[in-house]
Amino acid sequence: VTATPEPAAVVAEQLARGEDPTLVEIPRKPFHSRAGTLLVYLALLGLAFLYFTPFIWSFLTSLKDLPETTGFDLWPDNPDLQAYREVLTDFNFARFAANSFGLAATIAFFDVFLSSLGGYAFARLQFPGREVLFILVLSTLMIPDQLRLVPVFQMLTSFPLIHYNFVGTYEGYVLIKLVSAANLFFMRQYFLTIPKDFEEAARLDGAGFFKTYLRVMLPLAAPAVAAVAILSFEGAWNDFFWALVILGFGNPDHYTLPLGIAQFKFQYQTLWPQLMAASILATLPIAIIYIIFQRFFVAGVVSAGVKG
């Protein structure tokens, strides 16, 4: 029996070759009859439609007026964007969206910088205790958030040494989401696939460690950088747990979209068109990012699944 290679490694190679990971053509058994083929496609389209139904329904609802939502007319009588206007202005969602975007972009930036720098160091630098440190970093993947909840919150209320209260601040939130060991591991794996010739050429040109990293390695690892950036952005954009813990008790002006949605649901449970409009607002940007960058997106998701 043939040995099965590590899926995460396969994905890294597919990404490096410019292929769409998980969708590479492999020989498969075609369906025999034409009727059978048609039946299979109908079933699959039906299933895909079922998957989309909640989103279609919530989108249509977001175009309706409140009284209409109790009926089940598929199409709104007077489709308009009133609900979107209201959540964006009256219910502060424009602010929440800006917060979500700013925080997610900041976190993605730091995550790319720190995980690639750390990944590069672990891939190339020889220093004492490297293996121990690397295992230590990977072991942080095993630590569940609930064990960290209380100590991290306590730590943020009065930060060690500087005694600053980070709870409710953007800085505190960014700090907690700064870097992930999974991304560092992914960057390291990708750097390992790059031949050393490039760095040696750079060294002959007199480039130091940092300059080689910035000018040579980072551009060569562009697909991996893209994957980490996209995934990190998505993770922060969708995050509810830490946003709730760190920003949930502070000034509502600091809320992110998921917090805003939860808050809106508590207060105005049945203003369905507005609640659905807010949910669509939170969903759409990520859907667009996925459609444009799916190759990197999928590679990031799958290779985040490394073993701890």
Max distance between CA atoms of the chain, in angstroms, equals 73
Considering the complex, what minimum distance in angstroms separates the CB of residue 97 from other proteins?
A: 12
- Chain positions 216 to 275 lying near other proteins, rule: CB under 8 A, are 234, 237-238, 240-241, 244-245, 249, 257-259, 261-262, 265-266, 270, 272, 275
Q: Based on CB atoms, which residue is closest to other proteins, 57 or 79?
A: 57
Helical H segments across 128-205, by residue range: 130-139, 145-157, 170-176, 181-192, 197-204
Q: Is 210 in the site for other proteins (CB under 8 A)?
A: no
Q: Based on CB atoms, which residue is closest to other proteins, 200 or 249?
A: 249
- Chain positions 3 to 22 lying near other proteins, rule: CB under 8 A, are 3-8, 10-11, 14, 20-22
Q: Based on CB atoms, which residue is closest to other proteins, 193 or 198?
A: 193
Alpha carbon distance 265, 234 (integer Å): 22
Locate tokens 């009859």: which residue?
33
For residue 90 the two structure tokens come to: 């009256």
Q: Is 163 in the site for other proteins (CB under 8 A)?
A: no
Contacting other proteins (CB under 8 A), which of 109, 198, 209, 290? Answer: 290
Alpha carbon distance 2, 4 (integer Å): 6
Considering the complex, what minimum distance in angstroms separates the CB of residue 244 from other proteins?
A: 7
Q: What share of the chain is helix, strand, coil (3-state, %, to 5)?
A: 70, 0, 30
Q: Is 150 in the site for other proteins (CB under 8 A)?
A: yes
Contacting other proteins (CB under 8 A), which of 152, 167, 228, 229? Answer: 152
- Chain positions 116 to 145 lying near other proteins, rule: CB under 8 A, are 118, 133, 136-137, 140, 142-145
Q: How many CA atoms lie within 13 A of 156 on its CB side?
A: 23
Q: Is 288 in the site for other proteins (CB under 8 A)?
A: no
Strands, E assignment, the chain = none
Q: How many residues does the chain have?
A: 308
Query: Per-residue x/- mask for other proteins, residues 66 to 105, rule CB under 8 A?
Result: ----x-x---------------------------------
Residues 265/271, Cβ–Cβ less than 8 Å: no
